[in-house]
Chains A and B, each alone.
Chain A
Amino acid sequence: MKYKLIRILDVAGLQVFQPLVLLCYGEEPRHQLKQIALYIGTPVLVMAACVWMWNFLGPRHKTRSGEVPTPWRVVEAYDGIVHFHNREYTKLADYEREGEAREEALRKAQEDLAGLDQAFLSLADEADGVLESLAEDDPSAPEAASTQDLSPRKIAEQRMAMVDQKVARLAGEKIAPSQHLVDLQADVYRHRQALRQWELQQQAEGLTSGDTDRRVAYVDQVRDHQSQTDQEQAHLQQLREELAKVKQANTPEVARLHRNLSYLQQQAEFLKQRINLLTDGSRAEKLATVGTELETAQADLATAQGAELFVAAQNVLRQEQRLARVAGSRLSTPPTFFDQIATSLKCVFAGFLIATVVAIPVGIFCGMSRVVMASLTPLISLFKPVSPIVWLPIVFIIVGGFIEKPEEAWVQPAFLSSAITVALCSLWPTLVNTALGVASIDQDHLNVARVLRLGLWDRLTKIVIPSALPLIFTGLRISLGVGWMVLIAAELLSSSPGLGKFVWDMFNNGSSETFAQMFVVCGFVGIIGLLLDRIMIVCQRLVSFDGAPSGL
């Protein structure tokens, strides 16, 4: 069992965790602990240090999308993404629910919506609490709000608005003295500037023409005046910015209430949509409506005469088509983050498959024949360094030429061109490694093939490919890594659905929320890339007969 575990770790390229297994079996505990501290503890510490540094430096850089999000903001953003995903999928399922299940779901949604009322009310209470605590600073009585005839949601919104007003007024009051001082300072500066200007003008009157020295001195004086004015303006600007900061400073309590309120509002909207989908908007409901219309049309057809018959027949046909369309319809929802991941993975594997299918046979031919190698080397060297950003537009146009009606094609041109771009960029490592593996096959093994009189096919499948397999897999592993990296860029550029497009949409949105979501994408791209690489390492270890150690 112990050796089995170690073997699994070894195959998976996770030898780092070997001391943990050995420790569990009580083998040289001191040595194992030292190993764990050195090779697991230290990396964890370094990771922690990096996260701390991010947390420390992030908020200190202001951008037009707010400050750089801290790790905690990124985790929150991830929560938001998951919420969005769950809601969209619940709606999708609601649309297709029928009969008993639909009623059950409807009851549940209504209950949830009623439950939200309670949450809104408690939020309103909290807001009242804040109002009271603020009232100590500001004795002016809050205007009595009538809570009659208002839904709990409205009450909560109203209370929050009152809190905001109060906070703003308090902030205004708090900074009023400072504001007054700043205004005074501005007046002082203005008067000084006017005075200096007047003096300079007076001096200018006294200058006679031809007195060069005094004129040069005068220019210097004007320069001094200007730089002094600039300094005064800068000082005022700084004072005003400080004031604005004080004014905008929100207490964390109020900020939290705002976040809660917006979450509750979203949830309420979502539940309303659900209820709508479960009643009138559901597919079953729509089918029933169209069905009755069809029946009416058929009844008309039975009684129609002459020219009316033609119109009635057309109507029946139209209703039948509508019925078919509604029966096959799905609720169209915007793709969520996880849909985009699935699309990206599909795309990268499609591209990887194309690359493999092209690269391995070509590589084998290159490795077997020096003539083929020599004739393909210029092509390979020429196209290998071309960047995906160059390939994509070219491929996009070429693929566009083949697919004239994108909405009817079985594959989206954007998807296809992303996949082909991935293939074009990722086939080189496989090709070169395969050629190398085949070319460096042991002459003795080829002699065995000659003595056994193996045919071309047998020689390929029984001697050449097995012998080159470890190197082929090394190439495939590099290819998959390159492909995944290229894909995100390709999707970003071509707006084909996927993680790249998700990042692009987030970038264009430009709010601090979406800024944090871009960090989430960054993490996910890394984790998926890591997993793909691990999978390839395991494959490589399983096919390699020489037991070569795999790198990290």
Chain B
Amino acid sequence: MSTTTTQSPAIGEAPALELENACVGFGPSSARHEVLSKVNLRVSPGEFVAVLGFSGSGKSTLISLLAGLTVPDSGTVRLNGHVNPLPGPERGIMFQNYSLLPWLTVFGNVEIAVRQVFPRLSPKQRREHVQRYLDMVSLSGSEEKRPAQLSGGMRQRLSLARTLAMRPDVLLLDEPLSALDALTRSVLQDEILRIWDEDRRTVVMITNDVDEAVLMADRIIPLKPGPEATLVQDFPVTLERPRDRTTLNFDPRFKKLRNEITRTMIELNQETKAHATETLPAPPTIRPIRLNAAS
């Protein structure tokens, strides 16, 4: 099953990030376990794409493929035309479990990235740069704390600040808000949107929340659950920005889109399950003995 996902707001523009028939699998060739199979994806510059999937459907593998941390077994990843580039700060990835360095302070965690990406900054400029991004995610005042002393939401914001401070061309967010409670989550959603709105960078966000995807993305692509997960028909989100979460719930277009996506997701899931049962060995044909066969 090959799906074209070429529709984007700006048709004809060269994609910033592109996957072409990318496959990733584990295990020896005799017992190969395909996680991703023939994934095609084109993300235009400045586009906000949400990839929607059930848990365990290969979402994290997809994002590490996009970040270059995993190399595809076949197919290609292209970043601005470069084939299978090494991971680097131009693709800022925000890891699902924050990946903060526990021995560094809040400030140090951002600084290590800034120092590496912008080695020419003077110490004063560097400090200002770090401080700007800490202010952006409202972590001012906690600069000297260690990650262990932060709440879950603060860690997530720090991880975001570190990623943003690298000023990446492409922002890869791996379930950035999954570990948060609903209230903190909505605050951070607005925050990410505000930051994205400032300079319209390319964003690929992985999520399992349909509402979140509709609220934030330009385009939503469901991931058909694995094994052999792949991306299927995408849904453009045409709701105009800025989208207000309070009024959105009453917008008929929002409701329609959400229902459509939810239905597709459920169908995909059932399809996969059906596929899984098909592969089971067929039960032997047993019929009840007809004792009164003579009659």
Contact = CB atoms under 8 A, between A and B. Distances in A.
B103 A466 contact: yes
Given A462-B112, A545-B146, A547-B148, A451 B102 contact: no
Contacts of B113: 452
B88 to A, nearest CB: 5
A466 B103 CA distance: 7
Contacts of B92: 451
Contacts of B95: 444, 447-448
B148 A451 contact: no
Which of A452, A454, A467, A547 counts the most chain B CB atoms within 10 A?
Answer: A452
A450 interface: yes
Which of B103, B112, B146 counts the most chain A CB atoms within 10 A?
Answer: B103
B89 A451 contact: yes
Contacts of A103: none
A451 B103 contact: no
Contacts of B204: none
Contacts of B88: 451, 453
A545 B100 CA distance: 12
Q: What range describes how many residues of A lie at the interface?
A: 10 to 19
Interface in B131-164: 146, 148
Nearest to A470: B103
B268 interface: no
A545 B67 CA distance: 29
B93 interface: yes
B107 to A, nearest CB: 15
B101 interface: yes
Nearest to B109: A448
A209 B103 CA distance: 103
A444 B69 contact: no
A458 B99 contact: no
B184 to A, nearest CB: 22
B87 interface: yes
Which of B88, B93, B101, B117 counts the most chain A CB atoms within 10 A?
Answer: B101
A323 B89 CA distance: 73
Interface string A439-470: 00010110110111110001000110011010
A445 B116 contact: no
B89 A453 contact: yes
A253 interface: no
Contacts of A444: 95, 97, 99
B148 A545 contact: yes
A463 B104 CA distance: 10
B116 A467 contact: no
A445 B87 contact: no
A78 to B, nearest CB: 45
A100 interface: no
A447 B146 contact: no
A546 B148 contact: yes
A462 B95 CA distance: 19
A547 B166 CA distance: 30
A447 B99 contact: yes
Contact of B103 (A448, A452, A453, A545): A545
A453 B146 contact: no
A3 to B, nearest CB: 15
Contacts of A451: 67, 69, 87-89, 91-93
A400 to B, nearest CB: 45
A448 B101 contact: yes
Nearest to B91: A451
Interface string B58-86: 00000010010100000000000000001
Nearest to A466: B103
A469 B89 contact: no
Contacts of A546: 102, 148
Contacts of A448: 95, 99, 101
A444 B102 CA distance: 12
Contacts of B87: 447, 450-451, 453
Contacts of B69: 447, 450-451
B171 to A, nearest CB: 12
A545 B148 CA distance: 8
B102 A545 contact: yes
Closest 7 CB pairs of A and B: A444-B99, A545-B103, A466-B103, A452-B116, A545-B102, A450-B87, A451-B87
24 contacts: A444-B97, A445-B101, A447-B95, A448-B95, A448-B99, A450-B69, A450-B86, A451-B67, A451-B69, A451-B91, A451-B92, A452-B112, A453-B87, A453-B88, A453-B89, A453-B116, A463-B101, A466-B103, A467-B103, A469-B103, A545-B102, A546-B102, A546-B148, A547-B148
Given A444-B97, A444-B99, A447-B69, 20 more contacts: A442-B99, A445-B101, A448-B95, A448-B99, A450-B86, A451-B69, A451-B88, A451-B89, A451-B91, A451-B92, A453-B116, A454-B116, A458-B116, A466-B101, A466-B104, A469-B103, A545-B102, A545-B103, A545-B148, A547-B148
